[in-house]
Amino acid sequence: MARSRKAGATTGQGEIRRLWPAERDLFKAHLLRLDGVTRRQRFGTIVGDDFLENYAVTTFGIGGLVYAYIEDGEVRGAAELRGLEEIAARTGEAAFSVEVEWRRRGIGGALFGRLITAARNRGIRTLYMTCLPENAAMRRLARNFEADLAGGYADIEGVIATGGPTPFTILDEALDTARGFASLALSLQRRFWRPALFGRSMGA
């Protein structure tokens, strides 16, 4: 069973929380900021902006969810859980991306912990992840969560036994979701609400 590592709500100056469809543009902006090396590490091949824009559009479907590290209103790291539409299989796929300037801050580990909790609560007992052989940071992260790694020249696959849901994991995600909704509401308010000028409010 995967190590039960507590993922805090905040890391550094930002926060770790679920990302919602209304915040798709934040996720897309994060992907477009990834440098060429990070894009290849994330997707296993070289991808361009058009691919990433389309990927962001299709990410928030019924089959997946996204957790993000958000700092100063921008997504700087993201973890995706895919395969939820095939819940009977009780397996899922995890993928991660962290912008270069925000690495080595524990963000990947916090995202990973949050994703495992979400997987457990949805009945996903086996979580898969794939990385390139040269991605040593991702291999270390996977080992920290007791992943079994296997592969060769082309890629390495990690397999994590997540365990089942518990009252604690369910409560943990419920509290995280409540925080996420509050943060989303505040973000939308800042983005779309503009106070009327005092003179206009007086009919001037």
Taking only the tens place, the pLDDT of each residue in 107-129 is 999 999 999 999 999 889 999 99
Is the pLDDT at 6 greater than 60? The verdict is no
Q: What is the pTM of this model?
A: 0.81
What CATH fold (topology level) applies to the domain 10-189?
Aminopeptidase (3.40.630)
Q: What is the pLDDT of residues 150-201, one digit of tens each?
A: 877 778 999 999 888 999 999 988 888 888 777 777 766 776 665 554 444 4
Tokens of 199: 């003179």
Per residue in 46-85, is it b (16+ CB within 10 Å) or e — as a string?
Answer: ebeeeebeebbeebbeebbbbbbbbbeeebbbbbbbbbbe
In the block, which residue shows the tokens 């898969």?
128
Residue 85: predicted pLDDT: 64
Q: How confident is the model at residue 11 (pLDDT cuts 50, 70, 90)?
A: low
**Residue 139 and residue 160: Cα distance in Å, rounded?**
12
The identity of residue 203, as a single letter, is: G
The residue ranges of every structural domain in the chain are 10-189
Q: How confident is the model at residue 12 (pLDDT cuts 50, 70, 90)?
A: low
Q: How confident is the model at residue 90 (pLDDT cuts 50, 70, 90)?
A: confident
**Residue 99 and residue 168: Cα distance in Å, rounded?**
31
Q: What is the pLDDT of residues 16-67, one digit of tens each?
A: 999 988 899 999 999 999 999 999 999 999 999 999 999 998 888 777 889 9
